[in-house]
Chains A and B, each alone.
Chain A
């Protein structure tokens, strides 16, 4: 009878590990923040870097979310997604330049209004462009990954060139709205105002997206469609229409990401979108292709790691993200939150 008490604790431990398994990805983010705290000597630098990392992560999430959902829903991989980021940045910046009297004034309300106008303009433009892209470029190559990759890459080339035709080949330097320049000091750490705004916008987007996916019928259709599109159709929902909607929304979000990223870098080029795709692809792979939560967590990890490592060893920053991807894929080959397909 001595075996039973011996056996029981093992069972309890097993079930604890099992219960923790679904939360492992989010715990990894916490672990990363703690590791950063340990590795970085000054607490104030750590705080600054954490905020930058979160800001960067939020922006990458905004850009990546559409890509991952489009893949999950229709098995479509869009290598031209970066084009929307670039176009969003150029349209947004054009609006900001038009509204210079508003962005130049040291008035937070005016500045934010101008930023909102720029964001809405950029999202409208990229959303519309997403619709055209889906109809013209993506639609003829459904169910054919190789052609999708080639054709969407071709679309990216064309869009980049059109940006150069419309806005010229030179990079455009921009300054942030007056009230968003500089930093505030908190607990001895300098926190850039703009990054705090980026974190706020990112959180709002994530929560809105989560609410839509969890609490609305259209969200249920999308989630169910990711798992088993055929059954969603058999229930009577036109998944194609939903998909076009998701594609447009994802493109608009990429445009939003473009505006934010442009203001973050303070310079925009036609190729910036494709450059951000490097991080975006890493994020969607480690998050699990098709998973919005995975994408969010992956984006935060990439943002934080990039900032911590850049501080500790600048040259290793980009490589660190590759290393992160390799480590995650060794742990879970389908990404942190694998999307189970019924078919």
Chain B
């Protein structure tokens, strides 16, 4: 296997006086879906936000595709080839679905072929194309958020809890979208609380605890070892 698309080494991130990340080590291999798992509040979202540059690592390094992006401004990190789907979806509610997508096409006009493909993945987008994004349902917003990240080809996608609070049917749509994205050759770093989804999508897995990486390995290894799951993530994961 070639060198990883993303590599975090000894990343420490503080928010105000709180030490959220305390030496995160993370490797995201090319062309795979890498899961980032763990209980609430262990630093998964902060890890993604540190990669995209919303928070700054005050120690350690973030390497993307052989380039040190630790200190790059957020727009430069995004343009280097990272798509970001935040936990709160980051939808522009005052803009229409169309305008959200136009904005997401950073390098110019929307590529029509890619848009047609997205319409087949998320038919709701075509239906509500001219509607204000604020009027969409939670699931539709999530689709828009992911479609927005997908409208231009990115080497790496950071996706934060895409199935949170969604109905099972929509979760299936999401999972299919992420699979298609992977088939196109993209690498994906996915934060997920739904263990079934993680099991279905994940190639490798990383489990965080208390601002550090508690365990890293193959997803299959984790799914087979119930005792390991319980130790790393508590019982709550199975309940999902």
How distant is the Cα of A220 from the Cα of B95 in the complex, in angstroms?
8
Are B79 and A236 neighbours in the complex by a CB distance under 8 Å?
A: yes
Having A221-B103, A230-B54, A237-B75, one finds 5 other A-B pairs with CB under 8 Å, namely A220-B103, A226-B94, A230-B90, A233-B53, A233-B74
Asked whether A233 and B78 contact (CB < 8 A) given A217-B102, A220-B99, the answer is yes
A-chain residues with CB within 8 Å of residue B95 when the two chains form the complex = 220, 223-224, 227
B-chain residues with CB within 8 Å of residue A236 when the two chains form the complex = 75, 78-79, 106
A-chain residues with CB within 8 Å of residue B106 when the two chains form the complex = 235-237
Verify if A212 is at the interface (C-beta below 8 Å from B).
no
A-chain residues with CB within 8 Å of residue B104 when the two chains form the complex = 235
Verify if B73 is at the interface (C-beta below 8 Å from A).
yes
Verify if B52 is at the interface (C-beta below 8 Å from A).
yes
Min CB gap B115→A, angstroms: 16
How distant is the Cα of A221 from the Cα of B93 in the complex, in angstroms?
13
How distant is the Cα of A260 from the Cα of B63 in the complex, in angstroms?
54
Verify if A17 is at the interface (C-beta below 8 Å from B).
no
Interface residues of A (CB under 8 A from B): 217, 220-221, 223-224, 226-228, 230-239, 340, 342
How distant is the Cα of A238 from the Cα of B78 in the complex, in angstroms?
10
Q: Which 3 residue pairs spanning A and B have beta carbons closest together?
A: A231-B90, A236-B78, A233-B74
A-chain residues with CB within 8 Å of residue B148 when the two chains form the complex = 235
Asked whether A234 and B54 contact (CB < 8 A) given A220-B103, A221-B103, A224-B103, the answer is yes
Are A234 and B92 neighbours in the complex by a CB distance under 8 Å?
A: no
Chain B, 17-51, contact with A by CB distance < 8 Å: what is the 0/1 string? 00000000000000000000000000000000000
Residue of B nearest to A234 (CB): B84
Are B103 and A342 neighbours in the complex by a CB distance under 8 Å?
A: no
The residue in A221, A224, A340 that gathers the most chain B C-beta atoms within 10 A of its C-beta is A224
Min CB gap A177→B, angstroms: 41
Partner of A235, one of B54, B94, B103: B103
How big is chain B's contact interface, by range? 20 to 34
Verify if B221 is at the interface (C-beta below 8 Å from A).
no
The residue in B54, B79, B94, B100 that gathers the most chain A C-beta atoms within 10 A of its C-beta is B94
How distant is the Cα of A234 from the Cα of B100 in the complex, in angstroms?
13
How distant is the Cα of A233 from the Cα of B103 in the complex, in angstroms?
11
Task: Give the secondary structure class of A's interface.
Answer: helix
Chain B, 48-69, contact with A by CB distance < 8 Å: what is the 0/1 string? 0000111000000000000000
Min CB gap B239→A, angstroms: 30
B-chain residues with CB within 8 Å of residue A227 when the two chains form the complex = 92-95
B-chain residues with CB within 8 Å of residue A221 when the two chains form the complex = 103
Are A235 and B78 neighbours in the complex by a CB distance under 8 Å?
A: yes
A-chain residues with CB within 8 Å of residue B88 when the two chains form the complex = 342
Are A234 and B103 neighbours in the complex by a CB distance under 8 Å?
A: no
B-chain residues with CB within 8 Å of residue A228 when the two chains form the complex = 90, 92
Residue of B nearest to A236 (CB): B78
Are B79 and A224 neighbours in the complex by a CB distance under 8 Å?
A: no
Residue contacts A-B, CB under 8 angstroms, 5 given:
A223-B95, A224-B92, A224-B95, A230-B54, A230-B90
Partner of A217, one of B52, B86, B103: B103
Residue of A nearest to B73 (CB): A238
How distant is the Cα of A223 from the Cα of B100 in the complex, in angstroms?
11
Min CB gap B95→A, angstroms: 6
Are B94 and A223 neighbours in the complex by a CB distance under 8 Å?
A: yes
How distant is the Cα of A87 from the Cα of B59 in the complex, in angstroms?
47
Asked whether A231 and B79 contact (CB < 8 A) given A223-B94, A224-B95, A238-B73, the answer is no
Min CB gap B16→A, angstroms: 13
How distant is the Cα of A6 from the Cα of B95 in the complex, in angstroms?
38
B-chain residues with CB within 8 Å of residue A231 when the two chains form the complex = 86, 90, 92
Chain B, 103-125, contact with A by CB distance < 8 Å: what is the 0/1 string? 11010000000000000000000
Residues of B159-184 at the interface with A, using a CB-CB cut-off of 8 Å, are none
Asked whether A234 and B79 contact (CB < 8 A) given A217-B103, A227-B93, A340-B93, the answer is no
A-chain residues with CB within 8 Å of residue B75 when the two chains form the complex = 233, 236-239
Are A234 and B102 neighbours in the complex by a CB distance under 8 Å?
A: no
A-chain residues with CB within 8 Å of residue B92 when the two chains form the complex = 223-224, 227-228, 231
How distant is the Cα of A103 from the Cα of B11 in the complex, in angstroms?
67
Min CB gap B220→A, angstroms: 32
Residue of A nearest to B158 (CB): A234
How distant is the Cα of A226 from the Cα of B95 in the complex, in angstroms?
11
